């Protein structure tokens, strides 16, 4: 009997791990479990809607289900049953030889300053999930602008900047829904200030992400706090210098990059009206008037899996070994650092470890795996259900869009459970 | 013909395409497949035709698995003047300034050490509508047809 392996979370880390396990273990049955009826996690809901090329890794992951015999178990929530989960981690472990947690880190890190809970302050996670039509954020009604301040200098901050700065026609080819475009143009944004704590050469964004901003049609750029030019300087500096002054004087939006500022307070009674900044050494302060603040300063655990305890008790936290037969992968294991391909390399290392552990201590091979889940939970969906959702989302598309996503789990389930016509 | 498929990949997309080409070519040819990071540049064999699939990563750089190979070439400086290759690039036109620079760098590297290119380097765009294998399979067949005569002619010359 093959080893039964369950991977919780069907985002890029989970999928890359399934791919690597398929190559590293000859004798394993792998199931990818997701709380939604749709797979691919962050690729579907975190990668920006206008970065469809980045989402192309989905073609690799689809092969897991279509050719490699990996199972998809959708609409099943693992975690604490007292908070609405279908099944506890312990119960899941009793059904599989190996369980891997690859649920990512989806909560936003907080700034920890006064005013961050005022209305008009948004966090990067809910905002990007909302623009990607994640069912959890369907109810969010962002009212951004006219003056926006983005706090953070990573790729997520740049994604948000780009989405806010684009005009409607620049979303051609994306899957950004018309409702989002309409809302963004409801309150035309006139200025976006993006604030980084570090100096420009130490900013966390990838240079290519900033270079891409140079294509924006109706913005003009101002780059503050640049050091004097030197030879052989960091690519980030060169890319930023390339943007300095780009754009027409009559462009509808001004984008200002500011570096070396630490936010100390968001001012306002109910709603944010200004943000106060200070130099790290306290030498200087600056107050920027604004209508909205978006924080994009990294991600943290959403506490649904007791990650902290798992890491403290882990046999080998660095390798992702939590306990015999229980492993941690991706961001859930190593924290919110690194890109999608970094998680691929990580997954390959973890797959080798799991294969070695299985070879060293073979399992009895008598665990029921997915059969037990399907018997117990009638609401589980499968890969065929996702294919029906996928087909419905890519049929009869609006002009210039590559997909129109369902925004509620109920709608997804209705389509996933449609039975093909029998005759 | 004896063919070696080499791939340089970051996200795995180029690896998948190389595997697709392998499946397509295996019936008619003797095919080996290797990740560039596992390929020793001093072991190029003039009797084989090399098909390279190479993506681009970050700001027009070589993908992670091609970088150790590039370093090894720079160090070993192999004479590749009797080696024939074709190269297929993968990129994303969303980043138009550096679109497919990874495969361009790889092509320049091989040519700089004397290798002879067969066919044109063509590139796939992840933001476009066609699938990489649809482009690459016809392209590879055409390159192989040309290689079948060139490998003989160039050896005789």
Domains of chain A (ranges plus CATH)?
4-105+301-422 (3.40.50.720), 108-298 (3.50.50.60)
Residue of A nearest to B133 (CA): A59
**Tell me: the pLDDT tens digits for A114-144?**
999 999 999 999 999 999 999 999 999 999 9
Q: What is the 3-state secondary structure (H, E, C) of B43-91?
A: HCCCCCEEEEEECCECCCECCHHHHHHHHHHHHHCCCCCCCEEEEEEEE
Average pLDDT over residues B76-94: 96
Q: Is A30 helix (H, G, I), strand (E, B) or coil?
A: strand
- How many Å apart are CA A207 and CA B59, to the nearest integer? 6
Q: Which residues of A are less than 8 Å from B10 in CB distance?
A: 341
Task: Flag whether residue B35 sits within 8 Å of chain A, measured between CB atoms.
Answer: no
- The string of DSSP codes covering B93-124 is GGGGGGTTHHHHHHHHHHHHTTPEE-S--EEE
In this predicted structure, the answer to whether residue A89 has a pLDDT above a threshold of 80 is yes
Q: pTM to 2 decimals?
A: 0.95
In this predicted structure, the answer to whether residue B18 has a pLDDT above a threshold of 80 is yes
> C-alpha distances in angstroms, A324 versus A97, A354, A358, B60?
9, 10, 10, 42
Instruction: Name the H helices within A110-220.
Output: 124-131, 155-165, 178-186, 207-213
Q: Which residues of A are less than 8 Å from B131 in CB distance?
A: 59
Interface touch A59/B13, C-beta < 8 Å: yes
Q: pLDDT > 70: what percent of chain A?
A: 99
Residue of B nearest to A57 (CA): B13
Minimal CA–CA distance to A126: which of A288, A302, A263?
A: A302
Average pLDDT over residues A177-199: 94
Query: How many other C-beta atoms can be found within 10 angstroms of the C-beta atom of residue A396?
Result: 6
Residue in the structure block whose two tokens are 């390929």: B39
- What's the mean per-residue pLDDT of chain B? 95
Q: Which of A19, A51, A207 is nearest residue B94 as measured by Cβ atoms?
A: A51
| Axis-axis angle for helices A12-24, A340-360 (nearest 10) | 40
The whole-number pLDDT of residue B94 equals 87
- How many Å apart are CA A143 and CA A120, to the nearest integer? 7
Length of chain B: 157
The whole-number pLDDT of residue B58 equals 85
**Backbone CA torsion sign across A235, A238, A242, A244:** positive
Interface touch A60/B12, C-beta < 8 Å: yes
Here the ipTM equals: 0.91
β-bridge mates for residue A223, sequence order? A257
Residue A148 confidence class, pLDDT cut points 50, 70, 90 = very high
What distance in Å separates residue A362's CA from the closest CA in chain B?
30
Interface touch B13/A341, C-beta < 8 Å: no
Q: Which residues of A are less than 8 Å from B12 in CB distance?
A: 16, 19, 57, 60, 341, 344
Minimal CA–CA distance to A154: which of A202, A204, A190?
A: A204
Task: Flag whether residue B46 sits within 8 Å of chain A, measured between CB atoms.
Answer: no
In this predicted structure, the answer to whether residue A419 has a pLDDT above a threshold of 80 is no
- What's the mean per-residue pLDDT of chain A? 95
Task: Show Cβ contacts of residue A108 under 8 Å, excluding neighbours closer than 6 positions.
Answer: A123, A124, A125, A126, A295, A296, A297, A298, A299, A300
**Backbone CA torsion sign across A376, A377, A382, A384:** positive
- The string of DSSP codes covering A344-374 is HHHHHHHHHHHHHHHHHS---S---THHHHH
What distance in Å separates residue B51's CA from the closest CA in chain A?
21
The whole-number pLDDT of residue B96 equals 85
- What is the token pair recorded at A265? 């307070």
Residue in the structure block whose two tokens are 């192309």: A56
Minimal CA–CA distance to A383: which of A21, A27, A38?
A: A38
- How many Å apart are CA B71 and CA A284, to the nearest integer? 46
Stated as kind and residue range, the H or E segment containing A191 is strand A191-196
Task: Flag whether residue B156 sits within 8 Å of chain A, measured between CB atoms.
Answer: no
- What is the token pair recorded at A57? 């890794």
β-bridge mates for residue B90, sequence order? B124
Average pLDDT over residues A200-221: 94
Minimal CA–CA distance to B116: which of B144, B147, B141?
A: B147
Stated as kind and residue range, the H or E segment containing A122 is strand A121-123
- How many Å apart are CA A389 and CA A410, to the nearest integer? 12
């Amino acid at each position: 009997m093959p080893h039964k392996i369950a991977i919780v979370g069907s985002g890029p880390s989970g999928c890359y791990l399934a791919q690597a396990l398929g190559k590293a273990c000859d004798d394993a049955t792998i199931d990818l479990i997701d709380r939604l009826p749709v797979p691919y996690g962050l690729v579907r809901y975190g990668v920006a809607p206008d970065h469809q090329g980045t989402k192309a890794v989905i073609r690799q992951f689809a092969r897991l289900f279509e050719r490699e015999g990996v199972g998809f178990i959708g609409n099943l929530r693992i975690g604490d049953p007292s908070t609405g989960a279908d099944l506890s981690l312990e119960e899941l472990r009793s059904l599989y030889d190996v369980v891997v947690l690859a649920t990512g880190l989806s909560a936003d890190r907080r700034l920890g300053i006064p005013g961050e809970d005022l209305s008009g302050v948004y966090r990067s996670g809910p905002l990007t999930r909302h623009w990607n039509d994640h069912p959890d954020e369907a109810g969010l009604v962002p009212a951004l602008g006219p003056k926006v301040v983005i706090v953070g200098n990573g790729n997520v901050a740049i994604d948000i900047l780009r989405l806010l700065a684009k005009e409607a026609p620049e979303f051609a080819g994306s899957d950004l829904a018309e409702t989002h475009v309409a809302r963004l143009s409801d309150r035309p944004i006139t200025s976006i200030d993006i604030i980084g704590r570090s100096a420009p050469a130490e900013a966390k964004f990838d240079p290519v992400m900033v270079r891409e901003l140079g294509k924006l049609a109706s913005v003009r750029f101002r780059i503050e706090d640049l050091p004097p030019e030197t030879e052989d300087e960091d690519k980030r500096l060169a890319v930023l210098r390339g943007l300095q002054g780009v754009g027409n004087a009559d462009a509808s939006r001004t984008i200002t990059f500011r570096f070396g500022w630490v936010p100390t307070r968001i001012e306002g009674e109910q709603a944010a009206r200004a943000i106060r900044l200070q130099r790290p050494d306290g030498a200087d302060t600056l107050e920027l008037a604004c209508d909205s603040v978006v924080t994009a300063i990294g991600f943290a655990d959403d506490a649904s899996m007791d990650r902290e305890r798992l890491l403290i008790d882990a046999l080998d936290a660095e390798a992702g070994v939590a306990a015999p037969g229980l492993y941690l992968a991706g961001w859930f294991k190593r924290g919110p650092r690194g890109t999608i391909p970094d998680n691929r390399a990580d997954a390959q290392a973890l797959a080798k470890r799991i294969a070695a552990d299985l070879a060293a201590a073979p399992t009895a091979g008598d665990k029921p795996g997915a059969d037990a889940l399907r018997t117990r939970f009638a609401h589980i969906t499968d890969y065929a259900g996702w294919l029906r959702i996928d087909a419905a989302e890519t049929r009869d598309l609006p002009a210039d869009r590559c997909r129109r996503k369902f925004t509620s789990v109920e709608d997804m389930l209705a389509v996933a459970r449609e039975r093909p016509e029998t005759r | 013909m004896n063919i070696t498929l080499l791939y340089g990949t970051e996200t795995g997309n180029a690896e998948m395409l190389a595997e697709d080409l392998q499946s397509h070519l295996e019936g008619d040819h003797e095919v080996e497949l290797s990740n560039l990071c596992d390929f020793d540049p001093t072991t190029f064999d003039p009797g084989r035709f090399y098909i390279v699939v190479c993506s681009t990563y970050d700001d027009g750089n070589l993908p992670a698995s091609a970088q150790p190979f590039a370093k090894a070439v720079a160090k070993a400086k192999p004479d590749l003047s009797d080696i024939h290759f074709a190269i297929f690039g993968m990129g994303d036109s969303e980043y138009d300034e550096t679109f497919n620079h990874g495969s361009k760098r790889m092509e320049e590297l091989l040519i700089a050490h004397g290798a002879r290119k067969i066919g044109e380097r063509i590139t796939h765009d992840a933001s476009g509508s066609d699938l990489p294998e649809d482009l690459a399979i016809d392209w590879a067949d055409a390159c192989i047809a040309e290689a079948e005569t060139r490998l003989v002619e160039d050896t005789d010359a």
